[in-house]
Amino acid sequence: MLLAIDIGNTNLVFALFKGQEVCAQWRIRTEHHRSADEYAVWLFALMNRAGISEKDVTAVILSSVVPDANFEVKSFVRHYLNLEPQLITNGQMDIGMPVLLDNPRELGADRLINAFAAWSEFKQALIVIDFGTATTFDVVSAKGEYLGGVIAPGINLSLEALQRAAAKLHGIAITHPQKVIGTNTTNAMQSGIFYGYAGLIEGIVSRIKAERGEAMKVIATGGLAPLYAEATSAIDTVDTDLTIRGLRLIHERNN
């Protein structure tokens, strides 16, 4: 089995592949100082509950945008699985997708992996939206080139900033309000966050398409992707496993 690990700013995802299919997937909050021993205790308990032995893992690929967390995760893989992880940290690995940025080293591994996974499936001009700690828009040409993109504050990040800055505003759940005009504070905040980001998505997607002057398919990933896909026609397809699937494709390409 292949173990794919995605270290994001908010969550750390472990996914096990049996062939091309994800047979199990778990996530834990990203903490820079969590030890290798803690990862072992947590993950092996979940694997055991799913009827999977650590001896079934034959390869590990690791993507990270959090350098401070890399050491302990790699130590866990080496000490408890007796494997050497294949590490993707900043998109420098050759995956056959030209990166047309001023400085390709700036590109986060997760963004390149998402673009590669989407291109591998659709083989056309694409916009990939990732609803993560940041809301990112990654643009791929019809030739399969990574062209660049847009980075906006993430939805939860914006909500937390709003709550911190305004003493009378409280925590809310992100939902799809039935009406734009809120008749109480909670409804008004939910409307502002939800429809504000729906407008951001539609605006940025339309501007990218106008700038490129070509038909483009829009793929959304991340936890809030299904919620926003229901609210706007700007999103064509939702794939919440895009990053993990991209890691499997990169592993296959390099092995």
Decide if 69 is inside a domain: yes
Is the pLDDT at 90 greater than 70? The verdict is no
Is the pLDDT at 91 greater than 70? The verdict is no
Answer yes or no: do 221 and 151 share one domain.
Answer: yes
Answer yes or no: do 80 and 128 share one domain.
Answer: no
pLDDT digits (tens, 9 = 90+) for 157-207: 878 877 776 655 667 778 888 899 988 888 888 898 899 999 999 999 999
Answer yes or no: do 68 and 160 share one domain.
Answer: no
Decide if 210 is inside a domain: yes
Answer yes or no: do 129 and 237 share one domain.
Answer: yes
Alpha carbon distance 18, 211 (integer Å): 41
Decide if 110 is inside a domain: no
Tokens 């900043």 sit on residue: 90
Domain extent, residue 209, equals 123-241
Decide if 248 is inside a domain: no
Domain end among 89, 106, 132: 89
Decide if 101 is inside a domain: no
How many other C-beta atoms lie within 10 A of the C-beta of residue 64?
Answer: 24
Answer yes or no: do 74 and 151 share one domain.
Answer: no
Burial of 44 (0-12, 13-18, 19+ CB in 10 A): middle
Radius of gyration of the chain (CA): 19
Answer yes or no: do 144 and 76 share one domain.
Answer: no
Residue pair 39/71 in contact (Cβ under 8 Å)? The answer is no
Answer yes or no: do 218 and 165 share one domain.
Answer: yes
Q: Which two tokens stand for residue 225?
A: 């992707």
Decide if 237 is inside a domain: yes
Q: Which residues contact 233 (CB under 8 A, 6 or more apart)?
A: none
Answer yes or no: do 28 and 76 share one domain.
Answer: yes
Residue pair 150/134 in contact (Cβ under 8 Å)? The answer is no
Q: Which one of 110, 130, 138, 239 is the catalytic residue?
A: 110
Answer yes or no: do 41 and 140 share one domain.
Answer: no
Decide if 175 is inside a domain: yes
pLDDT digits (tens, 9 = 90+) for 100-109: 999 988 888 8
For the chain, the domain total comes to 2
Decide if 194 is inside a domain: yes
Answer yes or no: do 84 and 136 share one domain.
Answer: no
Answer yes or no: do 27 and 81 share one domain.
Answer: yes
Q: Which residues contact 49 (CB under 8 A, 6 or more apart)?
A: none
* Single pTM value for the model: 0.88
Q: Band the pLDDT of 128: cuts 50, 70, 90.
A: very high
Answer yes or no: do 146 and 54 share one domain.
Answer: no
The CATH number given to whatever domain includes residue 33 is: 3.30.420.40
Alpha carbon distance 252, 232 (integer Å): 35
Rounded mean pLDDT, 71-95:
86
SS3 content of the chain, % helix, strand, coil (to 5): 40, 25, 35
Task: Mark whether 138 is an active-site residue.
Answer: no
